[in-house]
Amino acid sequence: MMEHTWVLLALLSAFSLATSDALAKRTLSASNEYLVALFRLLFSLPLLLVTLISIPVPSLDREFYMAYGLALPIELITVVLYIKALKESPLSLSLPFLALTPVFLIFFSYFILGERVSSQGAAGIVMIAAGGYLLTAAGPGKGILEPFRAIGRERGILYMTGVALLYALTSSLGKRAIEHSSPLFFGAVYFVGLSILFLPIGLLRGRSDLRQFLATGRYKEQLLPGIFYGVMVLSHMAAMKLTKVAYMVSVKRSSLLMGILYGYFMFREDNIRGRFLGGLLMLSGFVMVVTAQ
């Protein structure tokens, strides 16, 4: 049981992320997307700060500071690109490309961490990525190849592909930092740092809507998304310590499947039957990754 603790933590991270995204999505139509992202980060801080003061500070070396210093500005870029992807293109076109992160990680984790995945693990990762693509691309439209056909006309797709690539890089650097500190310590200081860096960007890009956002109390709607986001961060970091980063992130991508279910039950999004194959592929890949050594 203990050897698969990382699976439970990765699933908890996936559930927390999907829940945070679904709760935040309810407010996006009536709120500035930069302010939504900012206040979700800010409301995650109490949990992260409580964790930070409750755990011992590990001995930190040059490797930690290098990995932290490289990953943090790249993470900031991913936040901005993700927001721009949401704004520029429909989710049904851009979100499928986020499923590429585990595939990119096969290569990034090898070059940065020296982690090799088995042939079974690689096959499972590819199946999860393919299933994630089918899940998010199988909505109403012109078929599952429509996201690829739209690459030339939808900048949001390019932004989201960049996010997937950069997530693979920051995940690998994050694992390096965890190896030279501790999972909870790194998770807390990393996202506290990210919140500080994103604060001026969020306020600047949301300045025209900030007064109304505060006056109407819309900022309070990010409390629950922020709490779940904090849980996602801590469980994500704890899971990465226990297994290869490519395996952990591929299992975490089950958040796409959970997001589809949230879309159906919370937003009455249709074509859930058309996404069955994607879900089946993801579950099959999940089994292959979990049993890979």
Q: Span 60-76, mean pLDDT?
A: 96
Rounded CA separation 53/260 (Å): 36
How crowded is residue 177: how many other Cβ atoms within 10 Å of its Cβ?
Answer: 29
pLDDT higher than 80, residue 293? no
Calculate what percentage of the chain has a pLDDT beyond 90: 59
pLDDT at 157: 82
Q: Span 2-30, mean pLDDT?
A: 86
pLDDT higher than 60, residue 47? yes
Per-residue 3-state assignment (H helix, E strand, C coil) for 110-177: HHHHCCCCCHHHHHHHHHHHHHHHHHHHCCCCCCCCHHHHCCCCCHHHHHHHHHHHHHHHHHHHHHHH
Opening angle at CA 57, ends 56 and 61, nearest 5: 145
Q: Span 117-130, mean pLDDT?
A: 90
Rounded CA separation 40/230 (Å): 9
Q: Span 127-151, mean pLDDT?
A: 72
At residue 96 the predicted structure's pLDDT band, cuts being 50, 70 and 90, is: confident
Calculate what percentage of the chain has a pLDDT beyond 70: 89
CA proximity to 40, closest of 71, 86, 94: 86
Q: Are 237 and 174 in contact (CB under 8 A)?
A: yes
CA proximity to 273, closest of 264, 286, 283, 282: 264
Polymer length in residues for the chain: 293
Extents of the domains making up the chain = 2-290
How crowded is residue 213: how many other Cβ atoms within 10 Å of its Cβ?
Answer: 22
Q: Span 120-149, mean pLDDT?
A: 77
Question: The whole model's pTM is what?
Answer: 0.89
At residue 86 the predicted structure's pLDDT band, cuts being 50, 70 and 90, is: confident
